[in-house]
Amino acid sequence: MSLSRHAAGPGPALAALASQVHPVFMLPPLAASLFGAVLAGEFSVPLAALHVTAAFFALYTAHVTDGYVDFYVREEDDDHPLSSWGCKVALAGASAAFFVCLVAIWLLVDVWAALLTLPGWLIAVNHAPQLDTNPIGATAGYPLGIGFALVGGYYVQAQTLQPVAVALAAIFVVVLSGIKAIDDTKDYEYDRSIDKRTLAVALGRKRAWTAAYGLMSAGMLAVVALAVVLPAIPPSAGLASVAFGGVALLARRAEPELATMLLIRGSYVFLAVLVATVWFRPLGW
């Protein structure tokens, strides 16, 4: 049986499998895993790479599951590059690779490291079938995966959890939930027509935007507050809030699709500035 819906052979099969790698949505969780490693201080590159690899296969599992459910189960999408059989093969392969990484993390670190890594895959396989069917799950599912990626990346290195890692993970969940709420407003009419209960459908577009900016603002203020109360977060980390705040203001006047694009890229800047300030402590801050 062919893995691709459109053509047989290894070339089309590989292209169909590769189509489920979505860099825009994969980069933040992978970067969060690395940020957790950096936050822990001196870190093992092999362990960091192992955790990032586990996160990658969890994300790939999520993308394959989402595509399968949206096209083959709910018939919401117009097309999908993988055949039904291809989706099942990709899902089995990615899941197997994830659990190989999980066992390796268990053996090389400890069981708690594995348990903090496992939620990434659990969120992945349950997002489209379950979490995406209600406002909370649809909004916070992906951000929760990123939060666990950060906490897991930290624990794999430090073999303990400190308040700074948990607090920063919570901030990412809050900020990215705001971005996800904006993203869902672009599909408001369609989601409403199929009774898909996103935050935009539940609250309406205008209130969803207000709630989204409230979440993002809370996250930015929390970074500044952490810089005051936690020595591990330098005051210069507030620059991350300034950088993201500028992008958020620019996105406020844009249409939902452009706003989402700007905000996702703004989250990259937010993360990059946080990493730089925590790692290098510019000007001794």
Quote the pTM value: 0.87
Q: Minimum mean pLDDT among 145-154, 254-263, 271-280: which range?
A: 271-280
What dotted CATH number matches 20-161? 1.10.357.140
How many of the other CB atoms lie within 10 Å of CB of 268? 15
Per the CB < 8 A criterion, the answer to whether 278 and 39 are in contact is: yes
Q: What is the pLDDT of residues 114-132, one digit of tens each?
A: 999 999 999 999 887 787 7
Q: In the structure, what pLDDT confidence band is assigned to residue 13 with cuts at 50, 70 and 90?
A: confident
CA dist 197 and 94 (Å) reads 29
- Token pair, residue 34, equals 């690395």
Judge: domain 162-285, CATH 1.20.120.
yes
Three-state DSSP at 82 gives strand
CA dist 269 and 264 (Å) reads 9
CA dist 131 and 140 (Å) reads 9
More confident residue, 30 or 189: 30
> Is the per-residue pLDDT at 39 higher than 80?
yes
CA atoms within 13 A on the CB side of 82: 25
Q: Minimum mean pLDDT among 128-132, 176-180, 225-229: which range?
A: 128-132
Q: What is the pLDDT of residues 19-30, one digit of tens each?
A: 889 887 888 889
Q: Which residues pair with residue 4 across a beta bridge?
A: 82
Q: In the structure, what pLDDT confidence band is assigned to residue 183 with cuts at 50, 70 and 90?
A: confident
Contact partners, residue 96, CB within 8 Å, separation at least 6: none
Contact partners, residue 38, CB within 8 Å, separation at least 6: 275, 278, 279
CA dist 137 and 273 (Å) reads 28
Q: What is the pLDDT of residue 48?
A: 95
What number is the average pLDDT over the span 243-251? 89
What number is the average pLDDT over the span 42-68? 92
Q: Which residues pair with residue 82 across a beta bridge?
A: 4
Same fold, 20-161 and 162-285: no
Q: In the structure, what pLDDT confidence band is assigned to residue 148 with cuts at 50, 70 and 90?
A: very high
- Token pair, residue 244, equals 């993201």
What number is the average pLDDT over the span 1-20? 78
Q: What is the pLDDT of residues 85-111, one digit of tens each?
A: 888 989 999 999 999 999 999 999 999
CA dist 254 and 223 (Å) reads 25
Which of 45-49, 129-133, 135-139, 235-239 tops mean pLDDT?
A: 45-49
Domain parsing of the chain, residue ranges: 20-161, 162-285
What number is the average pLDDT over the span 149-166? 92
Per the CB < 8 A criterion, the answer to whether 65 and 129 are in contact is: yes
What number is the average pLDDT over the span 166-171? 89
CA dist 83 and 96 (Å) reads 20
Give CA separation, 188 vs 10, 139, 196, 203, 208, in Å.
38, 13, 9, 11, 10
DSSP state letters, 187-232: THHHHHHTT---HHHHH-HHHHHHHHHHHHHHHHHHHHHHHHH-TT
